[in-house]
Structure 1
Amino acid sequence: MTAAHAAIPIPPPKKAKREEVLAVAAIQGIFCNGDSNSPKVSGNTIEKRWLMIQRSNSGLLAGQWEFPSTCLWVSEKNAKQEKKTKNKKNKMSEDGLVALIDERERQKSLTHFLRQLENDDHPYKLSEVQRKSAGGRERPLQHIFSHIRHTMYVETGETIILDFDGPMQWISSDGRVLQWMSSADFDRVGITSGVKKILNLL
C-alpha cells in the first residue's frame, strides 16, 4: 500500500499593495540677475534648480530627497472609513483599486501644502507659483516601491528668482528641510527612481 503523499503547503496569497494617491509639485527656480521680464538676456547669470524636500529619518527611503507632495488618498485608511460609513466619497478607477481625485481638490490640497513650506527666511511664496498639470490632467504617473504603489498627479511650474542672496537650503515652518537643487546636487546626493520618473516626464 502506497503511503499518501504529504499535502504540499500552499503559499499564502500575496498581500495587496497599499495604494496612495499623491499630488506632486515640480517647481523649478530660475536664478538670474537683471530684468525679470527678460531673464535670458546677455550678461545675466542663469541657473535652474528644482525645489526638493527631504524625507524623514525613519521609514522607507529615510533621508532621501524628493519633489514636494501631499497624500490625497490611502487605500487602507479610506477603505475602513467607507466600510464604516457605507458611503463611497470618491469615484474609483476601472480596476476599483485607486480613487479618482477631482483636479480642483488636488490643486487646492497641493497649494495648502506648499504654503506650509514657506517661512519668513525664504522670501518667495511657493504657493503662489503658477502650476499646470504635467503629462495630461487625468494621466497620472504610477510608481511602485516595496509594498506601496503611488499614483502621482504632477503639477509643474517656474519661478524667476532675481539677485538671490539667501540660503539654498532652509527649514519650513513645520520643520521640513527643503533645498533648491541643481543637476550637480542630484549627482552628489543621489535621487530615487521615483524622482527620475518625474524628471523624465517634464
Structure 2
Amino acid sequence: MMELGATLCSKSKPGCSGCPISSHCQALALSLENPSVQVTDFPRVVPKAKPRSDFAAVCVVQIAQGLEKEVTDAMGTDNLFLLIKRPEEGLLAGLWEFPLVLVEEGKTDSLNRRKAMDKYLTKLLSIDVGRKSDVILREDVGEHVHIFSHIRLTMYVELMIINLKDAVDRLCKKEDDSTKLKFTNESSVESMGLTSGIRKVYNMVKAFKEKRLYVSEKGQVPTRKRSRRLK
C-alpha cells in the first residue's frame, strides 16, 4: 500500500487508470458519479481545532525539616520536594508533577493564584500547615507556556520553602487514596522521568535558587521575608 501511494496514488496527480485496485476506490467511484467531485478531494482534510488556553498555578514545595533555617541554608540539597501523582486516566496519566492547580483566566494574579494553591495544599496535607509549619520563603519564579496538541497551558511558577515541625511521613492523609503524593530529594528529582513541562519548571526553580545563592555569596544577603502562614 505504501508503494502504491508513492508511485500511482499521489495526492496531486493520482494515476487512476493504471491503478490495480481502482475498482475498489470509493473516491474514484464518487468522482465518476458526480463531475463536481474530484479524486483529489480525498482524503478530506479536517481542520485542527484551535488549542484552548488553560492557566495553572504551580508551586514547587521544598520541605526543610528541623529547626528554622536561614533562607540560604534552606536552598541546599538536603531538603525534600513534594510531588503529586496525576490520575491514572486523562492527560499525562500516572505521571508525577509539582502541586498544580488550574485557575480561571481572569484570576491569574499572584493573590488569587496563591489562594487557590493554599486551599489545594491544605486539602492534600494531613496537618494544619498554617500552625505546624512556617513559610521560610515564598516567591514567584516566572512563567512557562507548554503546548500540548489541544491545550496551551500557561504555568505560573512559584517556590515555597517550608520548615516543618513534624515528621514528613505524617503529612499524607491516610484516608485519602485518590491522591498519591511523595517527598523526594533533589538527586531523585534530577533522575526522575518528568514531563518536559514539569522538567522546565524544575529547571526554572533551580536557576532561581542558584541566582539567590550567588547573590548571597557576593555578600548581598537577600532580605528575609516575614513567615506567612497558609490559609
Q: What TM-score, normalized to structure 2?
A: 0.58
Distance change >3 Å, CA 147–CA 169, structure 1 → 2: farther
- Ranges in structure 2 where 5+ consecutive residues have no aligned partner: 1-31, 206-231
Tell me the residue number matched to 2:184.
181
Tell me the residue number matched to 1:50.
81
- The answer to whether structure 1 residue 146 and structure 2 residue 178 are counterparts is no
Q: What is the alpha-carbon distance in structure 1 between the residues aligned to residue 120 and residue 145 of structure 2? A: 21
Aligned counterparts, 1:1-202, within 5 A = 6=38, 8-9=40-41, 11-31=45-65, 35-37=67-69, 47-73=78-104, 90=106, 101-120=108-127, 124-125=129-130, 129=135, 130-135=137-142, 140-161=143-164, 165-167=167-169, 170-171=172-173, 175-186=178-189, 189-202=192-205
- Matched to 1:108, the amino acid is K
Q: CA deviation at 1:115?
A: 1.2
Distance change >3 Å, CA 197–CA 189, structure 1 → 2: closer
Q: What is the alpha-carbon distance in structure 2 between the residues aligned to residue 154 and residue 172 of structure 1? A: 28
Q: Which structure is higher in strand share?
A: 1
Higher-Rg structure is 2
Q: What is the alpha-carbon distance in structure 2 between the residues aligned to residue 127 and residue 106 of structure 1? A: 20
Q: What is the alpha-carbon distance in structure 1 between the residues aligned to residue 163 and residue 111 of structure 2? A: 25
- Matched to 2:155, the amino acid is M
Q: What is the alpha-carbon distance in structure 2 between the residues aligned to residue 172 and residue 147 of structure 1? A: 36
**Aligned residues between the structures:** 164
Q: What is the alpha-carbon distance in structure 2 between the residues aligned to residue 146 and residue 172 of structure 1? A: 36
Structure with higher RCO (Cα < 8 A, 6+ apart) = 1
Q: CA deviation at 1:124?
A: 4.7
Identity, % of aligned pairs?
A: 29
Q: CA deviation at 1:127?
A: 8.8
- Ranges in structure 1 where 5+ consecutive residues have no aligned partner: 75-89, 91-99
Q: Deviations over 1:106-150 (max 9, x none)?
A: 121111111111214xx7559963521112xxxx21012332221
CA RMSD of aligned residues (A): 3.4
Q: What is the alpha-carbon distance in structure 2 between the residues aligned to residue 64 and residue 16 of structure 1? A: 26
SS at match of 1:61: coil
Q: What is the alpha-carbon distance in structure 2 between the residues aligned to residue 124 and residue 105 of structure 1? A: 19
Q: What TM-score, normalized to structure 1?
A: 0.65
Whether the 8 Å CA contact 2:82–2:183 is kept in 1: the answer is yes
Q: Which structure is higher in helix share?
A: 2
Compare 141-150 and 62-71 and name the one that shifted more.
141-150
Distance change >3 Å, CA 147–CA 29, structure 1 → 2: same
